[in-house]
Chains A and B, each alone.
Chain A
Amino acid sequence: MEIFKYKKPLNLMAQSKRFGLVSLTLLIISIGLIVTKGFNYGLDFAGGTLVQVHYKEKAPIDKVRVAITKVKEYQNASVTYFGNDNEIIIRTKKSSKSLDKDMGDAMRLLLKGTGDFEVRRVDIVGAKVGSELREKGLMAMFLSILGILIYVSFRFEWRFAIASVMALIHDVTIAMGAVVLFGIEVNLDTLAALLTILGYSLNDTIIVFDRIREGINTIKNPDLGSIIDESVTQTLSRTTLTSLTTFFVVLTLFMFGGEIIKGFSFTLLVGVVVGTYSSIFVASPILMMLGFSVSDYRLKAAEKAKRTKEKEKMRAMYENGTI
């Protein structure tokens, strides 16, 4: 089967302003959402207590709400269904430090008489741990981007590195925007998803850049725009298909992987789509904007080749004893 067949280069760079506008709009909306509505920090980062209760039959959520108000501490607790009708989550912003008695133990007593239930999960995160995790998370993001920046500069050229990192920031920001828009709770796994997007969305960009790098050396026309058009068109099938396989599995995770990893798989799902879009329509135009010059690059490459050749010559002479 073949879906994408290379015929002639798509005229992408000429359209780059239009894509730029789309991306810019999405970015502004995302940043706006993040600033105004803000993240819905979950337990991991905000701290608090969460108790998951499983009922043999449909959970009597109203009875549960009444039962827990008997204790003053839990009057502000929220009770919601979790994934299905048998499962509920009771959550408060408080976290007790007591080792021998916690909210899970209290719930076992309070919910007596509401039905046949089992306390299946009790998570407590103290405020201090929460802020520590947040700091570590931001640090991890920063270090990942830095590492990628250094590696791409080393393997390609600094403008490639900047362009790919800007595309990354674009992807992560839009993914964050989607997380805020859909009210997805931000936990450690959401962070893991964002970091995975960092690594993954770059994959596609690199496939394109790799082809551009190759095009620079093989395509005669030194116009960067047309080299990019040709390279992007040639890699179009690759970029889309690799994303498609990943999209499949993330989709199964999202649909069947259970409620706990919903936030994780949703974030990834958005990331895979945006990442694919950005590697085709965002990363390369940025490369153009940064003023990458093909002839300069070729000149440098030629000089470098000359130098290595000279070095080899010198070495050969040295080894032959002519120097």
Chain B
Amino acid sequence: MKTLNFRVILFIFALIFGVVFSVPSLTQSEQGKKITLGLDLQGGLHMLLGIKSEVAIESRIKSMAATVKYIFDDEEIIFDELRMVDGEKITFELLDSDDVTKAKALLKKGLDGTILNENGLKFSIEMTAEEIARTKQNAISQAVDTIRTRLDSFGLAEPTVAKQGVDKILVEVPGIKTQEDEQRIRELIARAAHLQLMAVDEDRIARVSTMSLQEAKSFGDVILKDVNTPEKYLLRAIPVLDGSMLTDAKVGFDKNNQPVINFTLNGQGAKIFGDFTGKYVGKRMAVVLDNDVYSAPNINERIGGGRVQISGRFKLSEAHDLAIALRSGALLAPVYVMEKRSVGPSLGADNIKASMLALMLGFVLVVLFMILYYGMAGVIANVALIGNLFLILAVMSLFGATLTLPGMAGIVLTVGMAVDANVIINERIRELLHEGKSIAKSIEEGYNKAFTAILDANVTTLIAAVVLWAYGTGPLKGFALTMGIGILASMLTAIVGTHGIYQWLLPKINKNKLGFWFGIKKEGKK
């Protein structure tokens, strides 16, 4: 037998490479790089979230209004009609024209990224376009970080949270067991987690049941509902303090063994809280989360140390999720669903089963056909095909690529297309054999002549795969990926590999047994 040639050696190396690196994926071992199963195969939640960034702008405007009020009060500048208009700008009027220069200087110093327009004594403040863009961007990156922190603390394996495009957030959570768990995760993500401690307006609360929202507003109050009961509270609109001063939140239990959330305030928060409780002994303070009143205990004495408790007849899981949301901080702007795909684990398992069955059957059909039609030449093509499959798995494992259901379809399709090269080559060889060329010459010339056709055909398919990869989303990318890798790998296995095998086996090929070797009846000579 002829010594091994470089093509065979290359093919053997490729085969070893393929087998070695696909083993971790096939055995699902803990070690080594392996293919991740897509959410459609292992079950999980995929969401594309949009963000209402205008809410972040609005709250910036709100805080700007507070700043204006603070500055003017501090400097004793008299003003009137301080208003927010459409959540876009602030307007106010100065009463004394002597204050104008001073006020303008103060505002310029105190408010960054704003434009001050004046019309006599009437002023309006708007955010600059850059400031608006910056605030929106900030809201998105803050939301991405916050959601990531929340999902990480929830204790699920490898959630993905990433900014997509300019204003979208991609969330992928694999391995969710039940729909109930999935809903819990969605609630956790959606939670604004805006915590406020608010004083109860004890002077007017008796009238709360008949009071309109407008009337409450005129007193500087808001009406909020209890989270569990229909009871309504009249609260001072400006909170004593909010969640930004919170440093930690943990699940604990009260004396009735009910789950509660204990949270700790930072130094400034603790001081404000201490002062407030000292001043308002005998009155009530409400713990408000996302505009629901959770509790409104009576203040019995000054509370130092900055430790506060929320009790609200929680289920344990609820308290657990709420503590996570509080720790991760509030969302600057609410998020909403633009696209959601959730697949239960049992459906994922069904998808794997169905696509594996199709892969197996397709593979067996192609392998049988090749052997029946081409004899040994078919066997050689099948060896290359197996090599090709291992190579696809190995390359995907090395890149830690994701295998999706369309990706499986791509592999099945590759099985059909990878042997195309061998069909083209074998037909050429047969043709040359029929012309009466020697076996060695037929093989060499057959490979030479077939090469351009195979190359051109593969490149065009590759063009389609690349475009699909670039423009496809999620699962489609998986299809383009496996098909692309499959085509590239087939160039190595189906062209170089089989060529090498022929060269290696050449001395053994009996010209009187062309039926066995190439599946043709007619023997070499005409």
Residues of A near any B CB (own CB < 8 A): 1-2, 6, 52, 54, 95-102, 104-105, 108, 118-126, 128-129, 133, 136-137, 139-140, 143-144, 147-148, 151-152, 155, 188-189, 191-192, 195-196, 198-200, 202-203, 206-207, 210-211, 214, 234-235, 237-238, 241-242, 244-250, 252-253, 255-258, 260-261, 264-265, 268
Contacts and interface: CB of A to CB of B under 8 A. Distances in A.
A148 B463 contact: yes
| Minimum-distance CB pairs A-B, first 9 | A199-B464, A258-B354, A249-B362, A246-B416, A199-B461, A99-B190, A249-B416, A210-B453, A140-B471
A144 B461 CA distance: 9
A192 B362 contact: no
B101 interface: no
B413 A250 contact: yes
B362 A253 contact: yes
Interface string B31-55: 0000000001000000111100000
B475 A249 contact: no
B342 A121 contact: yes
Interface in B379-424: 405-406, 409, 412-413, 415-417, 419-420, 423-424
Contacts of A253: 358, 362, 409, 412-413
Nearest to A1: B373
Interface in B460-517: 460-468, 470-473, 475-476, 479-480, 483
Contact of A2 (B186, B189, B520): B520
A207 B424 contact: yes
Contacts of A255: 358
B344 A246 contact: no
Interface string B338-356: 1111111011001100110
A200 B461 contact: yes
B357 interface: yes
A255 to B, nearest CB: 8
Contact of A98 (B337, B358, B405): B337
Nearest to B415: A249
A152 B427 contact: no
B207 interface: no
If over half of A's interface residues share one DSSP class (helix, strand or loop), that class is named, otherwise mixed; here it is helix
Contacts of A152: 456, 460
Contacts of A129: 48, 338-339
Contacts of A234: 431
A140 B449 contact: no
A242 B337 contact: no
Given A151-B463, A261-B409, A192 B365 contact: no
A102 B179 contact: no
B500 to A, nearest CB: 22
A207 B453 contact: yes
Contacts of A260: 40, 351, 405
Contacts of B430: 2
B362 A248 contact: yes
A25 to B, nearest CB: 27
A136 B477 CA distance: 13
B361 interface: yes
Contacts of B413: 196, 246, 249-250, 253, 268
A210 B467 contact: no
B130 to A, nearest CB: 26
A261 B413 CA distance: 13
A120 B464 contact: no
A252 B365 contact: yes
B187 interface: yes
29 contacts: A2-B520, A6-B434, A95-B337, A105-B179, A118-B344, A124-B340, A128-B338, A129-B338, A133-B473, A139-B471, A144-B463, A147-B463, A147-B467, A151-B463, A152-B460, A188-B473, A200-B461, A210-B456, A211-B453, A214-B449, A237-B427, A242-B417, A242-B419, A242-B423, A248-B369, A249-B412, A252-B361, A253-B409, A258-B350
Contact of A148 (B431, B464, B479): B464
B373 A241 contact: yes
B355 A257 contact: yes
A6 B363 CA distance: 29
B16 interface: no
Nearest to B345: A120
Contacts of A95: 337
Residue among A98, A188, A235, A256 facing the most chain B CB atoms (10 A cut-off)? A256
Nearest to A199: B464
B459 interface: yes
Contact of A252 (B47, B189, B362, B453): B362
B476 to A, nearest CB: 5
A243 to B, nearest CB: 9
Nearest to A105: B183
Contacts of A144: 463-464, 467-468
Given A207-B424, A256-B354, A119 B344 contact: yes
B358 A256 contact: yes
A2 B373 CA distance: 7
Interface string B316-340: 0000000000000000000111111
Nearest to B352: A258
A4 to B, nearest CB: 9
A314 to B, nearest CB: 29
Residue among A52, A97, A118, A214 facing the most chain B CB atoms (10 A cut-off)? A97
B103 interface: no
B521 interface: yes
Contacts of B191: 100
A237 B190 CA distance: 60
B424 A257 contact: no
B456 A140 contact: no
A121 to B, nearest CB: 5
Given A148-B463, A206-B457, A253-B362, A100 B187 contact: yes
A185 B415 CA distance: 26
Contact of B417 (A99, A191, A200): A200
Interface in B65-114: none
Contacts of A207: 424, 453, 457
